[in-house]
Amino acid sequence: MVATGAPEKKYISKFPMMGTIVSLTLFEKNPDVVNDVNDYLVKMDAVFSANRDDSELSKVNQAAGLHPVTVSRSCYELVADALTYTNRFADSFNVLIGPLVKTWKIGFGGRQVPDDSQIDRALKLIEPGKVTLNPQDHTIFLRDRGMQLDLGAIAKGYFADRIIERLKNAGIRNAIINLGGNVQVLGDNPFSNDLYWNIGIRDPEREDGSSAAIVHTKAQTFVTSGIRERYFKANGHVYHHILSPATGYPVNNDIIQVTIITANSELAEVLSTVCFFHGVAGGKAIIEKTPGVEAIFINQQNQLIHTSGLIKISKGVYLNE
């Protein structure tokens, strides 16, 4: 049985974008809204893509050590947010990590471990204090040659929050936006008696898209970080893409995957990285002290550990009230 007045259909639109497949689920037919979301993502790709030489982000990086670059409000806003989080979580989140990502190339064809001299050179270029922002002119200046902004650990969250705003402004009451590793839901689930959503937490041990757990929840955002998506093996070791700004090497601890559950998708993106760095115990302690945020960790033994705000109601099913 579904809720009274529930729609008979859902309408799923998919866009190949930003290295993933973005999907938008509506519960009413509205091509104008679908086109608006697609147009927004195309615009954001032109602003933030690290793989386009003509994007605003690339122009800022290309001008490192030379001159400030005037950017759009969206670009300035996200870079400013990312720098704020970098200063707040200096041990685990760094928006200047671009030179280190480029050195390893994990997920971009990299299959070799860089030598110590390469890593040392990259580490010297990730100092956030060497970024100058001008809020009046919306300019960004990276003061040393070779510095690079990398917004991969926050951008999807920013996009998801803006898309939800656009859907609300268009009169959409219920929706799901999935940006690959980032799922945000709007409003009530029209196919559920209690109007809650069932959101799957992916199983990192399987490649068929099956879930390790289900969270029964009101509208929230779910952001997952893990080591099973982008990695390579060399000399008997696995090297994944979550790199430490302190050591220059992939983080090595007891976590395979962490999922953050909260209302703000940008914050969830940042916390998923921060908690990964701190391990299960440390990450859980951070979330327990952060109001309105919950988390599910999967450790190296494939065990699920959850924060106290989630209630296990049956095998593999959690209630988030």
Residue numbering of the annotated binding site for Mg(2+) = 153, 273
Spatial separation of the C-alpha atoms in residues 165 and 184, rounded to whole Å:
12
Residue bearing tokens 């779910």: 222
What is the number of alpha carbons within 13 Å of residue 155 lying toward its C-beta? 20
Tokens 């993106």 sit at which residue?
269
Query: What distance in Å separates the CA atoms of residue 13 and residue 22, rounded to the nearest whole number?
Result: 8
Residue 13 vs residues 21, 30, 308: alpha-carbon distances, Å = 10, 11, 35
Backbone angles phi, psi at 63, to 5 degrees: -90, 5
Q: What angle do CA 85, 88, 90 make, to 5 degrees?
A: 95
Question: Which tokens sit at 77?
Answer: 């806003």
Upper half-sphere CA count for residue 68 (Cβ side, 13 Å): 14
Angle between helix 155-169 and helix 265-288 axes, rounded to 10 deg: 120
Residue stretches of the annotated binding site: 153, 273
Q: Which two tokens stand for residue 295?
A: 């988390």
| Start-end of H helices in the chain | 31-48, 56-62, 73-88, 98-104, 116-123, 155-169, 265-288
Cβ atoms within 10 Å, residue 207: 9
**Rounded CA gap, 248 and 123, in Å?**
7
Whether the CB-CB separation of 184 and 259 falls below 8 Å is answered with: no
Distance CA 80, CA 86 (A): 10
